[in-house]
Amino acid sequence: MDAARILVVDDERSIREMLDMGLRHRGFVVQTCADAEQALASLAQFTPHAAIVDVMLPGDNGFQLSRRLRQDPDLYILMLTARDAVSDRVQGLEGGADDYLIKPFDFDELVARLRAGLRRVHRDDTTLWQYEDLSMDDASHRVVRGSTPITLTAKEYELLRYLMLNPGLVLSKTQILQHVWGYDYIGDDNLVEVHISSLRDKVGDRDKTLIQTVRGFGYRLGV
């Protein structure tokens, strides 16, 4: 899939501008709208892959807008709200939203949820992942850097895949353990450091510029 198109619908100008700038920086194509009417008018021309929708909109609220957006079954919908009531979350999810995020939210978490949602909705679009001269193909489980094939263990492959699917996003040891080893994993998080070190050796990242350590936070692929 080409760069994903994200429709942002929020009546707060500061939120729209922050999401517009941040998502564009992460490689998305973005269109922002202040209300449901603008959002619906933009659908045919913009054809988004995902929509980030605030609940408290003027006119039709976010719940109403999500129900109308859900007419496209392939559209991933992430709702934003300042209200933390369980009933609001249930209403949003039952009304067509795929996920829910409470304001104030962490931008990195929003991006991670957005990418995860897009992968689920468009999971059949591609099996090939690329970052600079590093590529991996889920269909063949083949990993290549430049013209050099790389042999990885199953866990190293899953670790690299997780990094490849989240370029530029800092992933904590806890996130990596949960994604690669499973949510029920109990053990030493030094396991991540060992696998990162091995992965760097195999992909020729001895200067640690491809798989970077962000001290106190975790690891990321690239800048």
Pick the residue with more confidence: 23 or 95? 23
What is the CATH T-level fold of the domain 128-221, as seen in this structure? Arc Repressor Mutant, subunit A (1.10.10)
Which tokens hold the place of 107?
Answer: 């931008």
Whole-number average pLDDT of the chain: 85
- Report d(CA 218, CA 171) in Å as an integer: 5
- Report d(CA 127, CA 125) in Å as an integer: 7
CA distances from 203 to 2, 53, 132, 144 (A): 26, 40, 12, 8
- Report d(CA 88, CA 104) in Å as an integer: 16
pLDDT tens for 54-104 read: 998 999 988 899 989 988 888 899 988 876 656 666 666 666 788 888 888
Domain residues of the chain, as ranges?
5-121, 128-221
pLDDT reported for residue 54:
93
pLDDT reported for residue 186:
57
CATH of domain 5-121: 3.40.50.2300
